[in-house]
Amino acid sequence: MAGTQRLESERGVTRDTRQRRAIRAAFLSTDRPLDPNEVLELAAGEHSGLGIATVYRNIKMLLEEGWLTAVELPGEVTHYEVAGKEHHHHFHCRMCGKVFELNACLPNVQQLAPQGFAVTGHDLLLYGSCRDCSPA
Amino acid sequence: MAGTQRLESERGVTRDTRQRRAIRAAFLSTDRPLDPNEVLELAAGEHSGLGIATVYRNIKMLLEEGWLTAVELPGEVTHYEVAGKEHHHHFHCRMCGKVFELNACLPNVQQLAPQGFAVTGHDLLLYGSCRDCSPA
DNA sequence: ATATGTGCAAACTCTTTGCATGGAG
DNA sequence: CTCCATGCAAAGAGTTTGCACATAT
């Protein structure tokens, strides 16, 4: 996973195409992480004929320019959300499959690693049923 | 992690083949979660000619009979470990890529979900460099 | 003897890439 | 007018499945 990032100077001007605008709009119109297919469906509403390859390429560019961040969910394909949010985690609804943001974390997370292990980051994921899918 | 188990009666007699013995041995000889390819390499040492499809099929059977549990790691292919261990989490070394077990958890994890969300499980993953890869 | 398990290869899903065309600048 | 971006299709990884043969019981 190292060496994925490139210097911005390696890329020329980044053009503002109709497709990229539709893809950005898809993320901005949703408050939860999206996977490439969800992006395609949402963005295709604004511009049909959009190809999945373009979605992947734009996601990659938007990641590189820091507009998106990857949300990697165990057992799910990688989702993406707009960057710049505070440190947070996610809730994965087992009923509807949607992923929600949690504006919370736990202290002392780093202390769980044994001696000799250096912790540089962590992920926390809750599972269950979301507000709309919970029985009560 | 719910609903993974099936009634044993759905499957006829489970045979004890050389391949399955080698696959089980691979897991028992290692103290960290393995992915299908690691299993193939380890088990092929005991029985060359082993096919990757057999590894996948056996992993699935061993999951169904509850001998294995899936360890789904963000950004990694699914790993597996022998079942029956206590609740624990994992550490993913960014240097060597290996996954280690952490015999610890945090209390109050469920309290992170907002009102209306029912939490049935969670995953916690630490990233960094392991004992062998840490500078000091 | 007989049905389950295996190996191989084809099929499938998700993601990436090559190439000719389209469009932003 | 130039390149960068797009669309399509082919190529790649990882995983699953169909089929004939092997083998545990």
pLDDT digits (tens, 9 = 90+) for A37-79: 999 999 988 667 899 999 999 999 999 999 999 998 877 889 9
Q: How confident is the model at residue B3 (pLDDT cuts 50, 70, 90)?
A: very low
Window from A5-9, A124-128, B29-33 with minimum mean pLDDT: A5-9
Q: Which of A5-19, A101-115, B94-108 has the lowest mean pLDDT?
A: A5-19
Distance of C1' in D17 from CA in B79, Å: 22
Residues B103-135: tens digit of each pLDDT: 888 888 888 899 999 998 888 889 899 999 877
Put simply, whether A3 touches B (Cβ < 8 Å) is no
DSSP character at residue B115:
T
Query: Could you confirm whether domain A2-81 is CATH 1.10.10.10?
Result: yes
Mean pLDDT computed over B21-47:
92
Q: Compute and round to an integer the Cα radius of gyration of chain A.
A: 17
- Rg, C-alpha atoms of chain B: 17
Neighbours of A42 (CB within 10 A): 19
Chain A residues with beta carbon closer than 8 angstroms to that of B110: 126
Average the pLDDT over B63-91 and give the result. Answer: 90
Residue B53 CA, nucleotide C11 C1', distance (Å): 13
Residues contacting residue B95 through CB under 8 Å, at least 6 positions apart: B129, B130, B133
Query: Of residues 55 to 94 in chain A, which lie within 7 A of strand D by their beta carbon?
Result: 57-58, 61
What pLDDT is attached to residue B60?
96
Q: What are phi and psi of A12, to 5 degrees?
A: -70, -155
Model confidence band, residue A13 (pLDDT cutoffs 50, 70, 90):
confident
Mean pLDDT for chain A overall: 86
Q: Which stretches within A13-101 are classed as H helix? A: 18-28, 36-46, 52-64
Could you tell me the pLDDT band of residue B8, with boundaries at 50, 70 and 90? very low
Over residues B34-50, the mean pLDDT reads 89
Q: How do the domains of chain A map onto residue ranges?
A: 2-81, 86-128
For domain A86-128, the CATH architecture is 2-Layer Sandwich (3.30)
CB A24 within 7 Å, strand D: no
**What number of other Cβ atoms are within 10 A of residue B102's Cβ?**
16
- Scanning every residue of chain A, which has its alpha carbon at the shortest distance from the alpha carbon of B104? A112
Confidence category of residue A2, pLDDT binned at 50, 70, 90: very low
Residue A118 has pLDDT above 90, yes or no: yes
Q: Which residue is nearest to nucleotide D3 (CA to C1')?
A: A12
Q: What is the pLDDT of residue A63?
A: 93
A112 touches strand C (CB under 7 A): no
Judging contacts by C-beta atoms under 8 Å, the chain B residues touching residue A124 are 109, 112, 122-125
A15 has pLDDT over 70: yes
End-to-end CA distance of chain A: 43
pTM listed for this prediction: 0.80
The pLDDT confidence band at residue A35, using thresholds 50, 70 and 90, is very high
B69 close to B20: Cβ distance less than 8 angstroms: no
Rounded mean pLDDT of chain B?
Answer: 86
Distance from C-alpha of A98 to C-alpha of A100, rounded to nearest angstrom = 7
> DSSP label at B96?
T
Segments of B1-136 assigned E as strands: 68-71, 79-82, 89-93, 99-102, 118-129
